[in-house]
Amino acid sequence: MISYLKCLKLVVNQGVYNRGIRLYLDGLVSKPDPMILDNWRRYEVQGNNDHYTIKIPLLHLTLDRKKFDKAGDAISEISTCECEYYYSYGICKHIVAVCASIDKEFDANTNLSFEREKADNNSVLDNIFEAEKVKKHRKWYEVIEMYLTRDHPNYFYLDEISKTLADEPLDHDEFLIGLHRIVEAVIGDYAKEKLLVKIILESILVGKKVWWDFWLPFLLRFDERNMNRLFIGLWKIRWLSGAKSYQVELDKLLISMKNKEKKLIFEQLKIEFENQREIWLEYCFVAKYYSWLEENIDILDPSYIVKMCLSLPEKREEYEYKILNQVKIWADFLQAGKYEEIKDFFQYWQQALGRSEVYEDAVKYFQTAHPKKKKLLIGIS
Ligand SMILES: [Zn+2]
């Protein structure tokens, strides 16, 4: 890969060059348009009063490698601009700006040669992109600060940041270091923490692991009510998306919380998802919060009681009898449409806990009390 800028630097005067870089950094170069000719591009650059069309070939795709040292001349020979300067003197700041944009675009995609250029400390490009990055990060801080002052912000910019971080996980350490300081200043300020919780949840939802790693050291440091909000949100994300890339770490945190905190989260989930009990029951198992389950074991479905046996093996015998009782009731009132369900359950029970005495009793109960339903358990007993 050649650097278009480096080639140009050899053939244009410094003033034009610098003004071109400035145009690029100010974001005045459009996205490229392909042209009918292969490997030619059309760009628009916004000037002081007007905007200009630049046409330029992608030399790194067309020029013979042996002629790379002539690339600067090639650009000045065939690329065009519509401005006055170009007609009088040739290569103008608009073409320089476009070359900066091309360098940026292709450097990002051609790793090998990019690494070589990166190693060159004096690389013109490094300085430019460094400046560009600093500018970008400054904007990001402003966005975060803005979110820390508003109750109902539009998270569009945050989602953009999150996507960029997820795409370029190694490129924004400086930003995260600066953000660290901002977050430290927020902790302890209840109202701001509350807004920060929203930012954390939204960013993890979009940026996943990168953001998770960043927020992890802060997650247990908030005011109790904010922490409650935070973990309810994290649980919802886990429930909806699986949170695969950081699930193990999240689960460890959920387990590590105090019983009192777990209770608050549980109660809140129970209220919010009254009719979707699997959401809060699953929370109990993942967070190892068993108090409610133990108190309410008689109203749990048998499959949850099996899970309780697995989680609290010391109570297994006691709980298995509860399963037996439930299964008896279940069998006595079994409706035609439920046959598959009970077969599935027996299978699950056997797989999870093996064929215990109680299990055999349950099978026997079917065979004696409900001979007609006997064939239901074929393949199981
Ligand atoms: Zn021009």
Measured in Å, residue 34 CA sits from the centre of ligand 1 at: 19
CA of 50 to the centre of ligand 1 (A): 10
For residue 99, what are its two tokens?
């070359």
Q: How confident is the model at residue 115 (pLDDT cuts 50, 70, 90)?
A: very low
Mean pLDDT of the chain: 87
Q: Is 66 exposed, middle or buried (0-12, 13-18, 19+ CB in 10 A)?
A: exposed
242-272: b or e for each residue (b if 16 or more CB lie within 10 Å)?
ebeebeeebeeebeebeeebbebbbebbbee
Residue 43 has a CB neighbour count (10 Å cut-off) of 23
Distance CA 226, CA 212 (A): 17
| pLDDT of 140 strictly over 80 | yes
CB burial string 149-181: b at 16+ within 10 A, e below: eeeebebebbeebbebbeeeeeebeebeebbee
The Å distance, Cα 86 to ligand 1 centre, comes to 5
Q: How confident is the model at residue 369 (pLDDT cuts 50, 70, 90)?
A: confident
Distance 108 CA to ligand 1 centre (A): 26
Which pTM value belongs to this model? 0.66
Give the Å distance between the CA of 58 and the centre of ligand 1. 18
Report the separation in Å between the CA atom of 127 and the middle of ligand 1, taken as the mean of its atom positions.
Answer: 24
CA distances from 314 to 259, 303, 351, 357 (A): 20, 18, 19, 16
- Distance, CA 54 to ligand 1 centroid (Å)? 7
The Cα–Cα gap between 379 and 376 comes to: 9
- Please, which pLDDT band fits residue 147 given cuts at 50, 70 and 90? very high
Could you read off the pLDDT of 281-290 as tens digits, one per residue?
Answer: 999 999 999 9
